[in-house]
Amino acid sequence: MAAKTPKTDAAVAWLAQARKGEVYTCWRGLLERACNTPEQNMSNQERRDHQAACRAAKKAKKPLPKPPDPFKSVRNDARALLDFIEQQELRGLVELKTVVMSKDERVYELRCRVQRNGLKAVRDRK
């Protein structure tokens, strides 16, 4: 059975064993757009086309078409990853760096800011 949030799970596993200064590429693409709803991602032209298709379907008494959603398969993973990154940034453990490759391509990198392995000895004392 595949995990529902494979990129988030991989980021959590990386942070558990990361050393200070280590870099992890957690996402390629547009993370913010992947988190948005389909309506938020539509351009004005796509929105007008979709509204026209809805009016035509309503007039023909057919079911309304759904808006195009290219990020449907990764939306939950993207939202979970963004929540995880925000939590770890607030704790001061990681730093997010966004590298812009082109208009539609970005690379999101996490850099570990603290040494994590030293806490294992303290946890093992109990």
* pLDDT for the residue 92: 86
Beta-bridge partner residues of 112:
94
Higher pLDDT, 121 or 36: 36
Structure tokens at 77: 């993973």
Model confidence pLDDT, tens digit, residues 65-112: 999 899 999 999 999 999 999 999 998 889 999 999 988 899 999 999
Whole-angstrom distance, CA of residue 68 vs CA of residue 44: 13
Percent with pLDDT over 70 in the chain: 89
Reported pTM:
0.80
pLDDT at 1 over 50: no
Rg from Cα positions in the chain = 20
% of residues, the chain, pLDDT over 90: 67
